[in-house]
Chains A and B, each alone.
Chain A
């Protein structure tokens, strides 16, 4: 296997960040901090795996952050609404989870339908649905915050905070989603078809790939993953508002690009996306753990590291 900077870039950036973090603060590598960082990465991470497929197939989805907020609001309202009849307990959690997954599937299907069947640019479609979901959650919450009933919150809390063998559920789910995504991208026919469609949809069509079906599936797959991410998110604070999931779409897209997937489509790398997500959360974490950097500059430091990470892996391509 040929190793070059193109592959090593993101890994190198991640290693440097971990070393910097460990040097700056002795608690950086403590189990509690590692758990915190990985758990909070899970939301964006799960979404970014789906985003990798959408971008690989030449698409884009700007609506995922708003969609997550809307689904979170919906999930809370469904559980609050059924609480008097079903009572607090795992059956009701199951209904909430089912509602979130269904809403995610439908939302993904809607984006896919508008992009494939209606033939509207993905950027425009998802810009539109982004605004729609953001307004809907504000409207559902009446401008305030939707809060899960307190009794129910105790029941659902373990989904975010507990786990098995000291590894919390969000980390486990993120890992499973990432492994499944990597397998499909590398070994599955669907991964190859997505890359073919993103690279040149005409050629893909002549090679008897059902282009619309592949595109549609990437959006549906992403919608489903947004649903899963929301199921991890709601138990954390038990609330959703119009400020939920703001800019998640850009973080997810940034993670995908840092990881080596091409923004114009045709090539995707799921494990790279995972590295990208970890880089983004580690920057935040390290900035919080260190003194001396004005918090006003957090955004600038993030921007520099994102660009550096991409430069590191693009160098090879520019030469060749």
Chain B
């Protein structure tokens, strides 16, 4: 919001000094995303801000409004405010939850503005002009395929799940399909809620419960941190490796440096918000067609390509 005020002020000053030359109309793009309440969202906030700063340089005719919301109802308010007071030409939204946001986003679409939805789809199809989607079942599938490669003779693994959501269900289904018939057995699965402390506790209990665990699918790098600490504290050497996911930079660095416990990672890039903002800007300012669905695939990161996925400045 502060950001918005400074750009508006800048625009007003520019308009005041260069009176007749001010011909082209400034268009406003609203960006509404969840606040940085966990690591991945923190990275997403970082990339959103970075994309906005960059695009404001590139497109002088575009202004951006960035609002971060800590819960779905605050996000609804943000979007209603943008529509009512900022006269936005386009909205880029990463919905906190699908159901409560479908109505307000539809209102934006009905007003004639362009709508880009990121990562989490709306409850009703056909509202958005552009859908930049992460591939959750693909995330699970790539993870599962790596697991079957790394454990060619099969084995007993435990899995940690995220917060109970559609995202988590799709990932787990993709994973289970990929390891089917490979001889790998998931002997236990619990929710670690994408949280380090919760996954530490769950992993400690898994280690008490099972005498032999060949590998862990932590399914997220924050959870992998907790899992690794629990394994280290228990002094167990039966666990061969931990497969996290989402590409946290500390974990990517360990893969790059050849840590045997973290041999790989599967991306689910928070920078997809930047893709969405950029495509929206292109759609508003040029005649290039950008409507449709843009799926960002999950990529397997190993020691060979880890360097390409390491972002020094990102908080995630």
Interface stretch of the complex, out of B98-106, B113-121, B128-136, B203-211: B203-211
- Shortest distance between the CB of B160 and any CB in chain A (Å): 11
Residue ID in chain A nearest B37 by CB atoms:
A242
- Shortest distance between the CB of B2 and any CB in chain A (Å): 14
The reply to whether B190 and A285 form a contact with Cβ atoms under 8 Å apart is no
- Interface SS of chain B: helix, strand, loop or mixed? helix
The reply to whether A36 and B204 form a contact with Cβ atoms under 8 Å apart is yes
Partner of B225, one of A25, A239, A246: A239
Chain A, 158-215, CB within 8 A of any chain B CB: 161
Chain A, 73-94, CB within 8 A of any chain B CB: none
Give the number of residues in B that approach A within 8 Å (Cβ atoms): 38
The reply to whether B315 and A144 form a contact with Cβ atoms under 8 Å apart is yes
- Shortest distance between the CB of A91 and any CB in chain B (Å): 25
> Hey, which chain A residues are within 8 Å of B175, CB to CB?
none
Interface stretch of the complex, out of B4-12, B19-27, B192-200, B276-284: B192-200
Report the Cα distance A36→B204, complex, angstroms. Answer: 7
The reply to whether A241 and B208 form a contact with Cβ atoms under 8 Å apart is no
- Shortest distance between the CB of A38 and any CB in chain B (Å): 12
The reply to whether B41 and A143 form a contact with Cβ atoms under 8 Å apart is yes
Please tell me if B288 contacts chain A, counting CB pairs below 8 Å: no
Known A141-B42, A289-B208: A295·B191 in contact at CB below 8 Å: yes
Please tell me if A121 contacts chain B, counting CB pairs below 8 Å: no
Known A288-B205, A289-B205: A147·B197 in contact at CB below 8 Å: no
Please tell me if B299 contacts chain A, counting CB pairs below 8 Å: no
The reply to whether A144 and B43 form a contact with Cβ atoms under 8 Å apart is yes
Report the Cα distance A236→B199, complex, angstroms. Answer: 13
Report the Cα distance A28→B208, complex, angstroms. Answer: 8
> Hey, which chain B residues are within 8 Å of A147, CB to CB?
250
Please tell me if B267 contacts chain A, counting CB pairs below 8 Å: no
Residue ID in chain A nearest B206 by CB atoms:
A288
Q: Given known contacts A144-B36, A242-B36, what 4 new A-B pairs fall within 8 Å (CB)? A: A36-B208, A141-B315, A246-B195, A289-B209
A residues contacting B by CB (< 8 A) are 25, 27-28, 30, 32-33, 36, 40, 138, 141-145, 147, 161, 236-237, 239, 241-244, 246, 284-285, 288-289, 291, 295-296, 298
